């Protein structure tokens, strides 16, 4: 009858639908498109018209209000009002943004993995040299005075580290922000193993085994064939990923601080931070696995007590400091006290496209199909939330 038109502003300039695209990690965050008020109003008007006599138009509006795009195997959800002819352009922009986010996510995850690989290989290389430098007389340790060293416990520590890692990586694979979590794990590992390489390279501790001559490989003099010996040792540790429980004799000297404890601790914290609320029992299961593995490392004589204490202390501080600062608002990060940490600017770029706040712990199927798996994971989420 002459009432105010909701598809126009007060200045009588038609409002055009516009999309607000947010870029996030591949297979993790939804790419959302928020329609303008005019598009919402248009949808309401279309519903009214459809209710009076435009049934066909009403049906089309409903179909256009929610769309799903698939880009590189990722489902991108778009919520729109009745945007009419702008549907196609917004869908194309959403697909383009999804592809760009996926490429950026893959690049950053690869670079984080390379950082971790560099730190780990540096540790392996230093061990091949330190083995021939460290003294052989062990230091006194309170635990060794109270509990006789148990060689079998070293294998137990390796097994518990592997079990904890399998559980943690399974949780990461199922997490809806899996690439962000995996990238963070790589970066944290790179930071801690980089610190470990610095400590190993400046102070040499003697082996902690009481029967070190039976366990440690003999030290060799520097000869013309020494370079070949170093290469052989290095390749052995790369292939076994540092797990030496199956070897008759091992290289000794990589003590301060414990690399096994870093692995156990990081995997434990990942389960604490990134599992859905309904999996509370998994956190209680992870605790005895973690601390049982740490205790086994000391009881076996493979590490001094201070090695595991320092490793746990550093891993816990780095892990929770990282999450404290990168769950802040982006505008506040650079001025926060934690931004003075030496690794802050290294990680700042990796977190640039991650939304602020704590990630929602929701599980999704990591592959495009089958559809039944996606429906099953939806039902699982309803029980875990």
378 flagged as catalytic? no
- 303 in catalytic set: yes
**Helices and strands in the chain: count of H runs, count of E runs:** 14, 2
CA distance 167 to 339: 32
Task: Give catalytic status of residue 260 as yes or no.
Answer: yes
Tokens 């949808």 correspond to 43
CA 293 to chain centre: 22
State the Cα–Cα distance between residues 61 and 45, nearest whole angstrom. 10
Query: Is the CB of residue 197 less than 8 Å from the CB of residue 122?
Result: yes
Write down the catalytic residue from 85, 303, 374, 378. 303
Sign of CA dihedral 199, 194, 333, 28: negative
With a CB cutoff of 8 Å and minimum separation 6, the contacts of 321 are: 338, 341
Tell me the C-alpha distance between 380 and 175, whole Å.
12
Question: Could you tell me where the beta strands, DSSP code E, fall in 2-154?
Answer: 66-71, 74-79
Q: Which of 260, 323, 374, 378 is catalytic?
A: 260
Give the orientation angle of helix 87-130 with respect to helix 226-240, to 10 degrees.
140
Catalogue the active-site residues: 260, 303, 307
């Amino acid at each position: 009858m002459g009432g105010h038109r909701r598809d126009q502003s007060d200045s009588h300039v038609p409002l055009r639908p516009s999309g607000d695209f947010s870029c996030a990690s591949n297979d993790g965050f939804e790419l959302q498109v928020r329609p303008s008020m005019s598009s919402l109003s248009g949808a309401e008007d279309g519903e009214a018209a459809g209710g009076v006599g435009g049934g066909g138009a009403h049906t089309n509006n409903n179909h256009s209000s929610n769309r799903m795009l698939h880009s590189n195997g990722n489902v991108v959800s778009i919520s729109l009002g009745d945007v009419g002819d702008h549907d196609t352009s917004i869908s194309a922009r959403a697909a383009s943004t999804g592809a760009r986010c996926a490429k950026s996510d893959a690049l950053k995850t690869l670079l984080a993995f390379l950082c971790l690989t560099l730190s780990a290989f540096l540790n392996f290389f230093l061990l091949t040299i330190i083995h021939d430098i460290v003294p052989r007389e062990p230091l006194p340790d309170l635990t060794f005075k109270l509990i006789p060293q148990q060689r079998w416990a070293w294998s137990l520590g390796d097994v518990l580290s592997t079990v904890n890692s399998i559980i943690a990586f399974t949780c990461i694979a199922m997490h809806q922000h899996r690439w962000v979590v995996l990238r963070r794990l790589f970066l944290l590992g790179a930071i801690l193993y980089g610190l470990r390489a610095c400590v190993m390279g400046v102070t040499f501790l003697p082996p902690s085994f009481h029967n070190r001559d039976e366990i440690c490989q003999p030290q060799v003099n520097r000869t013309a064939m020494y370079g070949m010996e170093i290469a052989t040792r290095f390749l052995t540790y790369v292939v076994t990923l540092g797990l030496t429980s199956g070897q008759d004799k091992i290289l000794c000297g990589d003590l301060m601080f414990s690399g096994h404890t870093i692995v156990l601790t990081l995997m434990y914290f990942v389960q604490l931070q990134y599992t859905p609320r309904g999996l509370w029992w998994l956190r209680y299961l992870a605790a005895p696995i973690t601390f049982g593995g740490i205790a086994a490392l000391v009881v076996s004589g493979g590490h001094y007590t201070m090695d595991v204490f320092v490793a746990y202390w550093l891993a816990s501080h780095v892990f929770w400091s990282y999450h404290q600062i990168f769950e802040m608002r982006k505008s506040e990060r650079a001025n926060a006290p934690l931004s003075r940490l030496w690794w802050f600017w290294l990680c700042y770029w990796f977190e640039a496209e991650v939304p602020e706040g704590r990630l929602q712990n929701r599980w999704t199927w990591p592959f495009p199909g089958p559809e039944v798996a996606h429906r099953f994971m939806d039902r699982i989420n309803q029980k875990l939330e």
